[in-house]
Amino acid sequence: MLDDFFTRAVLAGLGLALVAGPLGSFVVWRRMAYFGDSTAHAAILGVAFALAFDISIYAGTLAVAVSMACLVSALVARGQAMDTMLGVLSHSALALGLVAISFVPQARSDLGGYLFGDILAVGRSDLVLIWTGAALVLGVLILRWQRLVTSSLNEELAMAAGIDPRVERLVLSLALAVVVALAIRVVGSLLISAMLIVPAAAARGWARTPERMAAGAALIAAASVILGLWSSLRLDTPAGPSIVTAAAMFFVLSQALRRG
């Protein structure tokens, strides 16, 4: 069954969807959308490093994404104007990545693959990595769920309960970095944030509790993967963008139903 490239693509996408739903909900709750962007855009720099030094793409992007997450956290903690700072970092990281990657001859040809993902080329080892990483991040989120939700809702209330909001913020930043690294093959560095935010935003309209929103976001992300890949096969459109387009359609649908 795993011999079929399409089956592998679906499985890889579903693995990502499973973790992108809950994590994306936190991104929406904490208004970290730009934060996700800057981490994701930095991933392309990671790809350049990985190719230049001949290490795994996942290791390269993970290292750069983690450094970026730490850098942003540090700047925010120092009280920099958040949106400007992230705007600077996000696009500088992307530009720097594109410049760096142009020095690596073998990468120039499949630059599009890193920007928009190449889910149809996912191999067995990619699948193992994606599912292991997704399970790991999901496990951490579930174990720390109460703490994470409390400190996302209100940091003072969290502190009163003996929770250190800084720790929870760091956990989320690191989880984000891991998911960015996992997603680079699936939707590419330009669309990772969309995979996190769009399904969560679509689930927001129907959800009455954080748990339902997280579960709803995971379901919508999974449905987007299946619908996107299916239409990609039928219409011969690029897979990553098709998945995000499907998610965007679910979002529009959720908004329309909400009003009606």
Partner 1 sequence: MSALISSSALTVHRPGTSEPVLAQVDFRIQPGEIVTVVGPNGSGKSSLIRALLGHMPLASGRVVRKRGLRIGYVPQRVQLDTAIPMTVRRFLSLPTRVTDAQAEAALARTGVAGLGARQLTQLSGGQFQRVLLARALLSDPHLLVLDEPTQGLDQPGIVAFYQLIEEVRRQTGAAVLMVSHDLLVVMRSSDRVVCLNGHVCCEGTPQHVSTAPEYRALFGAEAQGTLALYRHRHDHDHDLMPAGAHVHGPGCGHDHTAPRR
Which chain residues interact with partner 1 by CB under 8 A?
Answer: 28-31, 146-147, 149-150, 152-154, 156-161, 163, 204, 207-213
For residues 110 and 211, which CB has a smaller minimum distance to partner 1 in the complex? Answer: 211
Please name which of 93, 110, 2 lies closest in space to residue 10, comparing C-alpha atoms. Answer: 2
For residue 88, the minimal CB distance to partner 1 (Å) is: 23
Length of the chain: 260
Report whether 244 contacts 251 (CB < 8 A): no
For residue 130, the minimal CB distance to partner 1 (Å) is: 28
Report whether 207 contacts 199 (CB < 8 A): no
Cβ of 88: how many Cβ atoms within 10 Å? 13
For residues 26 and 116, which CB has a smaller minimum distance to partner 1 in the complex? Answer: 26
For residues 113 and 210, which CB has a smaller minimum distance to partner 1 in the complex? Answer: 210
For residues 126 and 104, give the distance between their C-alpha atoms in angstroms, rounded to a whole number: 22
For residues 55 and 153, which CB has a smaller minimum distance to partner 1 in the complex? Answer: 153
For residues 75 and 227, which CB has a smaller minimum distance to partner 1 in the complex? Answer: 75
Q: Token pair for residue 12?
A: 């890889």
For residues 157 and 252, which CB has a smaller minimum distance to partner 1 in the complex? Answer: 157
Please name which of 47, 32, 46, 40 lies closest in space to residue 90, comparing C-alpha atoms. Answer: 40
For residues 85 and 78, give the distance between their C-alpha atoms in angstroms, rounded to a whole number: 11
For residue 78, the minimal CB distance to partner 1 (Å) is: 9
For residue 199, the minimal CB distance to partner 1 (Å) is: 15
Give me the residue label for tokens 């530009």. 95
The half-sphere exposure of 75 on its side-chain side, counting CA atoms within 13 A, is 18
DSSP structure string for 4-27: SHHHHHHHHHHHHHHHHHHHHHHH
For residue 65, the minimal CB distance to partner 1 (Å) is: 24
For residue 207, the minimal CB distance to partner 1 (Å) is: 5
